[in-house]
């Protein structure tokens, strides 16, 4: 066997290493998603289900910017660290391809919403009509984050197999 052929063939160690990296990436993505959910709850004033109707809440512009940064980091990590390989057709596992074909359009839709939300509130100052619109947008955003998590879990589960 030539040297070029020996280096071109994947070794079991490389496969194990790639699997370990993938699992770390999945764990990191899930942790980032959890951070988004916690930051979302803090931003929207939900400290507990029981207290949700009793809390008086306003949105601090700096808190909104911090939340948006966490949300953008999460969105980018999902796209560039997990979905990019699938989008480019480099994922060879049939089960992953099938799940991705089914759920990725929904993930792409949520990505568009998250990016649009970030862009819309980039210059938020906490005054005027933006405050009224933010309440409605936060409600829709919460729905989108939940949908994205459900769809994403389907892909992540297929990647772990």
| Residue 1 belongs to some domain of the structure | no
| Sign of the Cα pseudo-torsion (118, 122, 125, 131, in order) | negative
Query: Which of 13-22, 47-56, 79-88 has the highest average model confidence (pLDDT)?
Result: 79-88
User: At residue 48, does pLDDT exceed 70?
Assistant: no
| Residue 25 belongs to some domain of the structure | yes
Looking at residue 49, its pLDDT comes to: 52
Looking at residue 16, its pLDDT comes to: 82
Q: Is residue 160 a contact partner of residue 26, using CB atoms and an 8 Å limit?
A: yes
The CATH number that applies at residue 79 is 1.20.120.1370
Report residue 76 as tokens. Answer: 């980018």
Report residue 10 as tokens. Answer: 């994947």
Q: How many structural domains is the chain composed of?
A: 1
Most distant CA atoms of the chain, gap in Å: 73
Phi and psi at residue 101, in whole multiples of 5°?
A: -60, -35
Domain with 89 in it: 8-160
Q: pLDDT: is 127 or 159 the higher one?
A: 159
| Residue 136 belongs to some domain of the structure | yes
| Residue 148 belongs to some domain of the structure | yes
Looking at residue 36, its pLDDT comes to: 97
- Please return the burial class of 82, using the count of CB atoms within 10 Å of its CB with bins 0-12, 13-18 and 19+: buried
| Residue 2 belongs to some domain of the structure | no
- How would residue 3 be classed by pLDDT, with cut points 50, 70 and 90? low
Mean pLDDT of the region 67-81 = 95
- Please return the burial class of 29, using the count of CB atoms within 10 Å of its CB with bins 0-12, 13-18 and 19+: middle
| Residue 3 belongs to some domain of the structure | no
- DSSP state, 59? -
What global pTM score does this model have? 0.82
Mean pLDDT of the region 30-51 = 83
Distance in angstroms (rounded) separating the CA atoms of residues 5 and 7 = 5
Distance in angstroms (rounded) separating the CA atoms of residues 40 and 145 = 9
| Residue 117 belongs to some domain of the structure | yes
């Amino acid at each position: 066997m030539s040297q070029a052929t020996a280096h071109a063939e994947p070794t079991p160690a490389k496969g194990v290493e790639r699997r370990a990296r993938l699992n770390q990436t999945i764990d990191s993505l899930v942790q980032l998603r959890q951070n988004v959910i916690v930051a979302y709850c803090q931003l929207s004033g939900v400290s507990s289900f029981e207290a949700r109707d009793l809390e008086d809440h306003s949105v601090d512009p700096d808190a909104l910017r911090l939340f948006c940064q966490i949300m953008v980091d999460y969105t980018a990590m999902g796209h560039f660290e997990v979905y990019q390989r699938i989008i480019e057709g480099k994922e060879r596992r049939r089960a992953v391809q099938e799940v991705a074909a089914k759920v990725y359009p929904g993930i792409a839709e949520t990505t568009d919403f998250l990016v649009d939300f970030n862009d819309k509130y980039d210059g938020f100052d906490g005054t005027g009509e933006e405050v009224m619109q933010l309440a409605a947008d936060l409600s829709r955003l919460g729905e989108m984050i939940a949908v994205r998590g459900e769809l994403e879990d389907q892909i992540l589960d297929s990647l772990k197999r």
